[in-house]
Amino acid sequence: MRIEFDESRCVAAGQCAMTAPAVFDQRDEDGVAVVLDATPGPERHDEVREAAAVCPSAAIRLIEVAP
């Protein structure tokens, strides 16, 4: 899995950081999300999929990569 993140679409809701805190964080100055790990391991895939699903601005795009 690879994460593509469109910072310009982010509305700083923080859903991704709450859902997958090992993969997403937020900048202190404006709350915009930051991707900490663009290629998370398989143990994080479910929470990353959930983070993408709950993103209110659809700023997170997941690219599923075959093993």
Domains belonging to the chain, first-starting first, are 2-63 (3.30.70.20)
Mean per-residue pLDDT, 10-20: 98
pLDDT tens per residue, range 19-37: 999 999 999 999 999 999 9
Query: Can you give the pTM of this predicted structure?
Result: 0.94
Catalogue the E-assigned strands of 1-67.
2-5, 24-26, 33-35, 60-63
Residues present in the chain in total: 67
**67 pLDDT tier (thresholds 50, 70, 90):** low
Cβ-Cβ contacts under 8 Å for 19 (sequence gap 6 or more):
47, 50, 51, 54
